[in-house]
Amino acid sequence: MKHRSALGDISIRIANSGDVSGISRLLRSLSHTYIVSPDDPQVDIFFATLTEGSISRFIERPDVVYLVAATSTPELVGAAAISGDEKVEHLFVDPAYQGIGLGRGLWEHLRDHALQSGNPGLFKVNSSLNAVPIYERFGFVIAGPKVERYGGAYVPMILTLAAAQHCQSL
């Protein structure tokens, strides 16, 4: 699929082994949006999940659908993943490409794949603090208090499509 914007054409596709380096680079460049305690002695546990080896093992898991968004150059400008057809694991967009609907496009691809695979309309995410408003625009609601772990912080959120569709119709 291609997304047209003032910034050019961006294609969204399934990630492959050739994307691992770009995914790792993108996620590491945005890690500051998650980290709240950089001096936490366990922050290395979080950063270990962003290495090329960890990303490679993650995208190869049979329960994971991993998407990338790339420009025609082909610069990787977005990455998104869902596990078990219900838990959004990654949804990252390069800051230069934010605000054009790319995050929504990645999310909708993940959602549609999960629904076609049998998901009944229930999704979960551990949202970074700055991404909570974005997920709320997608219909997610906060499902619990903020959690601090491995130097980072997240807010658990859920989306029940039937409830979200009802809210949109009001």
Is 43 among the domain residues?
yes
Which residues are bridge partners to 10 per DSSP? 3, 71
- Indicate which CATH number applies to the domain containing 12: 3.40.630.30
Enter the DSSP assignment of 117.
T
Q: Residue 49: enclosing H or E segment and its boundaries?
A: none
DSSP letter, residue 31? G
Q: Print the domain residue range for 66.
A: 2-120
Q: Is residue 93 part of a domain?
A: yes
Domain count, the chain: 1
CA distance 91 to 106: 7
Q: Is residue 141 part of a domain?
A: no
**Could you give the CA distance from residue 118 to residue 99 in angstroms, rounded to a whole number?**
30
Q: How far apart are CA 125 and CA 91, in angstroms?
A: 10
Identify whether 155 is part of a domain.
Answer: no
Looking at residue 122, what is its pLDDT? 97
Please tell me what DSSP assigns to residue 140: -
Q: Answer yes or no: is 143 within a domain.
A: no
Amino acid 33: pLDDT: 87
pLDDT along the chain (170 residues), means of 10: 52 95 95 90 92 97 97 91 97 94 95 96 96 96 96 96 54
- Asked if residue 107 is part of any domain, the answer here is yes
170 is a domain residue: no
CA distance 95 to 154: 20
Domain-embedded: residue 63:
yes
pLDDT of residue 72: 85
Predicted local distance difference test score (pLDDT) of residue 76: 95
